[in-house]
Chains A and B, each alone.
Chain A
Amino acid sequence: MFRQVAQRLACTARRSLSTSTLCREGEKGPAEFLKKFTPHVSSTLSPPHFPSEFLPKTVSAEEGAAVPEKLTLNFFLPHETTVKDSKVDLVLLPALTGDFGVMPGHVPTVAQLRPGVVTVHKTLDKEIEKYFVSSGFAFVHADSSTDVCAIEAVKLEDLDPEAVRAGLQEYTAKLGALQAKGDDYEIAAAQIGVEVYSAMSAAVGA
């Protein structure tokens, strides 16, 4: 009996805690969802969870706090987390509008990436890691952290120049052959191939 009461109390405490942390989502957040959801299901069904509950706990930087010395970099792929919470000096990103560098205190930005090289300077001009990304997004947050999300990324030294050259030739030939026929989807696919491979060969050649 007492155990049940304690459990119930703990449960309510948890719920109120989670709603208080999530209140920034306002009237569209999980709390509001549960209000709509609960009348339609049996009362014994426990409420569902939400992805925001499982976010890693981060200490949000206070307003006007000093700009940290290093940038926090996360590098995510759908099938892997390549870099997590790594402290770096500079990241060079290949955005669609042109390359740009991110240092601590950068303006919050959302950038769409093109096929190209992401350069990570762990210490400026000394420890450098280079990744080739196919495409994706980069988010620069106000708290001097940067998330790079790519579909596929490999270390530059893992690319085989021979294979890149062969791939570029294959897709260029394919594009030439297809342009005569005029299937839009196939042409677009071949164009993407040419674009990625030329970016790759430029990266390898450099």
Chain B
Amino acid sequence: MALRRAGALGGMIQRTVQQQGQIAEGLVGDLTKQAALLDGAGTLGGVRHASQLAVKQRMRSVQNIAKITSAMKMVAASKMRVAQVNTEKSRGLLTPFLKLLGDLPAVEVETNIAVPVTTDKGLCGGINSSVSKYARGTLKAFAEEGQNSELVVIGEKGKAQLARDQASHIKETIADVGKLRITFSQVSAIAEELMKTEYDAVRIIFNRFGSAISFKPTVATVLSPDALEKEVEAGGKLDVYEMEGPDRGELLQDLAEFQLAATLNNALLENNCSEQASRMSAMESSTKNAKEMLDKLTLSYNRTRQAAITTELTEIISGAAALES
């Protein structure tokens, strides 16, 4: 292309020179030299044709992507192993609360808060969009009959997804939770922030870790102290228990707060573990895809290269044969 344009330019200049009757051979010579230089810059790493060059560049980029994704997979796998141990250890604390207070996701109260737990970073499969879907459903399910239904979103990804259509319902967002190791004191700070929303029932939506390839979207419900009191009065399980505390109300409040922190702690750990597992499988499949693509590109590159060589050889041989005869 550059050569042709330079040639055309040269021709024009020549014509002008002829028209004017002056000689400007030096200028034309310079231009031809420049055009030759431009053409030479295209030959890279033994590639002789422009089409082959494009394929070669594509191959290099696909190879780099495969390297990056396989490294990400390794990182996610090692993080998952640590997270899995921590998650399984955190599950125990939930059982006494469920035994004592029961699981009441359909409880009817005034202010409902849905807390979708999502990740901060992407490239981890579909776990965030599924949590968002369940969060939308939960939000709508309790938005009727004058009930108050709001969202407190944990994680950047969920924030971005839910802000699209539920922006008016988002009360608060919390990010950068899983950046460092999740600790109970960190979770307590989040729970405290959550309590400022003056909820009656919190429904935490997260991916429960099943195995490296299965995550179960789960809705965990925690009631506020007042709602808990009402449940107990209405004949909840807690009624048969004797209270050993300074004051019944205070004890119930502490119990509800402890339950919130414990449930949130487990939810964050579970979701973090699911994130790593999901990222691991997503990166594994993308590495596989990149490798498949690389194989196809290599094949097509080699084929065209060989075709070009064969053509050139045929030309040379037939030329030589024509001269001999």
Residues of A whose CB lies within 8 Å of any CB of B are 22, 24-25, 27-33, 35-42, 45, 48-52, 54-56, 74, 76-81, 84, 95-97, 100, 107-112, 136-137, 139, 141-142, 147, 149, 151
Asked if A25 meets B245 with Cβ closer than 8 Å, knowing A49-B216, A79-B86, A80-B89, the reply is no
- Interface segment, one of B60-68, B155-163, B236-244, B272-280: B236-244
Q: B96 and A79: CB pair below 8 A?
A: no
Q: A108 and B240: CB pair below 8 A?
A: yes
How far is B243's CA from A49's CA once the two chains are assembled, in angstroms?
31
Enumerate B69-101 residues with CB–CB distance to A below 8 Å: 86, 89-100
- Which of B219, B240, B258 interacts with A137 by CB under 8 Å? B258
Enumerate B248-264 residues with CB–CB distance to A below 8 Å: 251, 254-255, 258, 261-263
Give chain A residues whose Cβ lies under 8 Å from the Cβ of B104: 25, 28-29
Q: A50 and B244: CB pair below 8 A?
A: no
Give chain A residues whose Cβ lies under 8 Å from the Cβ of B187: 78
- Which of B92, B96, B217 interacts with A48 by CB under 8 Å? B217
How far is B245's CA from A141's CA once the two chains are assembled, in angstroms?
17
- Which of A41, A54, A149 interacts with B136 by CB under 8 Å? A41
7 nearest A-B residue pairs (beta carbon): A111-B244, A52-B103, A147-B96, A32-B106, A81-B92, A33-B105, A40-B140
Residues of B whose CB lies within 8 Å of any CB of A are 86, 89-100, 102-108, 133-134, 136-138, 140-142, 183-184, 187, 205, 208, 216-220, 238, 240-246, 251, 254-255, 258, 261-263, 265
Give chain B residues whose Cβ lies under 8 Å from the Cβ of A36: 106, 141-142
Give chain A residues whose Cβ lies under 8 Å from the Cβ of B100: 110, 139
- Nearest residue, chain A, Cβ from B218: A49
How far is B101's CA from A149's CA once the two chains are assembled, in angstroms?
14
How far is B101's CA from A141's CA once the two chains are assembled, in angstroms?
12
Q: A110 and B106: CB pair below 8 A?
A: no
Q: A78 and B133: CB pair below 8 A?
A: no
- Nearest residue, chain A, Cβ from B188: A151
Q: B103 and A50: CB pair below 8 A?
A: yes
How far is B91's CA from A137's CA once the two chains are assembled, in angstroms?
17
Give chain A residues whose Cβ lies under 8 Å from the Cβ of B218: 48-51
Provide the main secondary structure of the chain A interface: mixed
Q: A30 and B106: CB pair below 8 A?
A: yes
- Nearest residue, chain A, Cβ from B203: A33
How far is B93's CA from A139's CA once the two chains are assembled, in angstroms?
12
Asked if A79 meets B89 with Cβ closer than 8 Å, knowing A40-B136, A147-B96, the reply is yes
How far is B216's CA from A28's CA once the two chains are assembled, in angstroms?
21
Minimum CB–CB distance for A106 against chain B, Å = 10
- Nearest residue, chain A, Cβ from B134: A48
What are 30 sample pairs from A and B whose C-beta atoms fall under 8 A apart? Answer: A22-B103, A28-B104, A28-B105, A29-B102, A29-B103, A30-B103, A30-B106, A31-B106, A41-B137, A48-B217, A50-B103, A50-B105, A50-B218, A54-B208, A55-B95, A55-B98, A78-B90, A78-B187, A78-B261, A81-B92, A96-B244, A108-B240, A110-B255, A112-B244, A112-B245, A112-B246, A112-B255, A137-B258, A139-B99, A142-B240
- Which of A52, A78, A141 interacts with B262 by CB under 8 Å? A78
**A108-B241, A109-B241 provided; 12 other pairs, C-beta below 8 A?**
A30-B103, A37-B138, A38-B137, A48-B134, A51-B94, A52-B98, A80-B89, A81-B92, A110-B238, A110-B243, A112-B254, A147-B96
How far is B103's CA from A22's CA once the two chains are assembled, in angstroms?
9
Q: A25 and B103: CB pair below 8 A?
A: yes
